[in-house]
Amino acid sequence: MSGATPEGARTEQEAARWVRGMFGRIAPRYDLANHLLSGNLDRLWRRHTVKRLAHILDRPGARVLDICCGTGDLAIALQKRSRSRILASDFCHPMLVAAHRKIPGGVLFESDALRLPVRDASLDLITVAFGFRNLANYEAGLREMRRVLRPGGVAAILEFSQPRNGLFATVYGYYSRRILPLIGGVITGAGDAYRYLPESIQKFPDAPGLAHQMRVAGFGKVTFEYLTGGAVALHTGQIM
Ligand SMILES: C[S@@+](CC[C@H](N)C(=O)[O-])C[C@H]1O[C@@H](n2cnc3c(N)ncnc32)[C@H](O)[C@@H]1O
């Protein structure tokens, strides 16, 4: 299976079901856990992403979709910069309910990122923040992102990665395996979700590996940059 592999899931359908159920359980306290566990760095990572994509967001009439939008934080950050209405989707209903509370007038829809109800070649930008790693099939996810983008359109993937520096990697590894599941469990009541998090990051391709998969999927001008010492990476690729 070339995607998320939560413990016990034997098929892509089972993996997707587990992921959807897990996010459903943590949805009400997701934002609090997120900001606390990242020391608010998640806000900076999303803001940085928006800055990098400003040249597309500034285009009049740009059509933008944020998939795996969760409670909507990236969509909100994109909307602040964009003149057109940002679309946002997720396959977890409780996450969309939380997003709707934050962006009552937003265009939100429930959809699996692997089967988007979006026309071929109709978007200028598709974004995904900390959701791509959870897809049951990465190749299918990239194929779907490519399908909905127009020529010249850009895909941006903000995702956890592996820290590069030895000492930071050790400290970060200890924090994410020992401390994060404890605090995440107390805040959300779902310790398993925060044990899955470091496991899923460990199994996820490193940044050059993801860039390679994007090129294989047909994206051009693929670039990535590390943020916070490589704990996070932002990849972009364009439809040529
Ligand atoms: C870690 S949260 C990230 C939410 C948000 N993008 C953020 O930056 O905070 C991952 C989200 O991806 C969604 N997700 C995972 N797999 C998905 C899929 N196949 N289709 C749609 N949404 C999916 C989950 O429901 C969850 O809301």
Q: Ligand 1 centre from 198 Cα, in Å?
A: 16
Q: Are 73 and 49 in contact (CB under 8 A)?
A: no
Give the pLDDT of residue 15. 97
Mutate to test the pocket of ligand 1, among 41, 46, 90 (most ligand atoms within 8 A of CB): 90
Given a contact cutoff of 8 angstroms between Cβ atoms, the answer to whether 200 and 134 are in contact is yes
pLDDT of residue 106: 84
Does 131 contact ligand 1 (Cβ within 6 A)?
Answer: yes
Instruction: Find out whether the beta carbon of 23 lies less than 6 Å from any atom of ligand 1.
Output: yes
Sequential DSSP letters for the chain: --S---TT--SHHHHHHHHHHHHHHHGGGHHHHHHHHTTTHHHHHHHHHHHHTHHHHTSTT--EEEES-TTSHHHHHHHHH-SSPPEEEES-HHHHHHHHHH-TTSEEEE--TTS-S--TT-EEEEEEES-GGG-S-HHHHHHHHHHHEEEEEEEEEEEE----SHHHHHHHHHIIIIIHHHHHHHHHS-HHHHHHHHHHHHHS--HHHHHHHHHHTT-EEEEEEEEGGGTEEEEEEE--
What pLDDT is recorded for position 104?
Answer: 82
* Token pair 């959807």: residue: 20
Ligand 1 neighbourhood includes 138 CB (under 6 angstroms) = no
Q: Encode the chain (240 residues) as per-residue pLDDT tens digits.
A: 489 999 889 999 999 999 999 999 999 999 999 999 999 999 999 999 999 999 999 999 999 999 999 999 999 999 999 989 999 999 999 999 999 999 988 899 999 999 999 999 999 999 999 999 999 999 999 999 999 999 999 999 999 999 988 999 999 999 999 999 999 999 999 999 999 999 999 999 999 999 999 999 999 999 999 999 999 999 999 999
Q: What is this structure's pTM?
A: 0.97
Which pLDDT score is estimated for 99?
97
State the pLDDT at residue 8. 87
Determine the atom of ligand 1 nearest the C-alpha atom of 31: 9
Is 73 a pocket residue for ligand 1 (Cβ < 6 Å)?
yes
**Looking at ligand 1, which residue's alpha carbon is closest to its atom 23?**
68
Per-residue confidence (pLDDT) for residue 164, from 0 to 100: 85
From the CB of 74, is ligand 1 less than 6 Å away?
A: yes
What is the reported pLDDT for 1? 44
Tell me how far the alpha carbon of residue 215 lies from the centroid of ligand 1, in angstroms: 23
